[in-house]
Amino acid sequence: AQKITQTQPGMFVQEKEAVTLDCTYDTSDPSYGLFWYKQPSSGEMIFLIYQGSYDQQNATEGRYSLNFQKARKSANLVISASQLGDSAMYFCAMRDQAGNQFYFGTGTSLTVIP
Amino acid sequence: EPEVTQTPSHQVTQMGQEVILRCVPISNHLYFYWYRQILGQKVEFLVSFYNNEISEKSEIFDDQFSVERPDGSNFTLKIRSTKLEDSAMYFCASRQPGQGAGEQYFGPGTRLTVT
């Protein structure tokens, strides 16, 4: 069963606008972690933001925020004030309770239009 | 800022040969991981390693693969008898101990090309 689902293969956003990248997950673990990573064309994986399943508040890191809706099992990434440098692949990932395995989604390619 | 390093950045090998991909995790991290990403596809978990043994491995991680922490700093992935379909980017990652710990830190990856 697919653990992480990203339904948007590609997204476009105007520079300075906000964009939401969708992510839903599936787990029966009571404790888990959710992550977003950015992968620019150069290939490296850059950590953006983390949300623990027991965290009461949505995580924020600068222009990145995670819209965590536990009942819906969704963990959408919101990027505010998009910049040209935000153009990249974005992967949603989940860590299981034991922390020994991470599951990645298929990614969303974001293009920021000047 | 400490970072995970990987060598080589690009490895070309012939089918049937053995390759060793090397990683140096962040020094105070205790959990180590290998992932692979076939070009244009998602990142796939291969194996996790803690306390000098494998914690978890995926179905991809068959007898062709092995991992080792030969000393206090290196973490290696060995692929015996490489196949064409092993061509991918291989990422090493590490994280701090504790279940509440957040992110994994990824290395820059090794691009493996099997010809």
pLDDT digits (tens, 9 = 90+) for B68-106: 998 878 999 999 999 999 999 999 999 887 654 557 889
| A99 shares contact with chain B (CB less than 8 Å) | yes
| B1 shares contact with chain A (CB less than 8 Å) | no
Task: Determine the pLDDT at residue B95.
Answer: 87
- The alpha carbon of residue A76 is apart from the nearest alpha carbon of chain B, in Å, by 17
Does residue B38 surpass a pLDDT of 70?
yes
Task: Determine the pLDDT at residue B57.
Answer: 92
Three-state DSSP class for B20? Answer: strand
- How many Å apart are CA A77 and CA B2, to the nearest integer? 26
Tokens of B103: 């992110």
CB atoms within 10 A of CB A77: 28
- How many Å apart are CA B32 and CA B73, to the nearest integer? 11
For residue A24, give the nearest of A61, A70, A63 by alpha carbon. A70
Task: Determine the pLDDT at residue A102.
Answer: 84
- The alpha carbon of residue A100 is apart from the nearest alpha carbon of chain B, in Å, by 6
The secondary structure of residue A60, as a DSSP letter, is E
> How many residues make up chain A in this entry?
114
Hey, are the CB atoms on B41 and A106 less than 8 Å from each other?
yes
pLDDT along chain A (114 residues), means of 10: 87 97 94 92 89 91 96 97 97 84 92 96
Q: Provide φ and ψ at A111, rounded to 5°.
A: -120, 125
Residues B41-75, buried b or exposed e (16+ Cβ, 10 A)?
ebbbbbbbbbeeeebbbbeebeeebebebeeeeeb
- How many Å apart are CA A60 and CA B100, to the nearest integer? 17
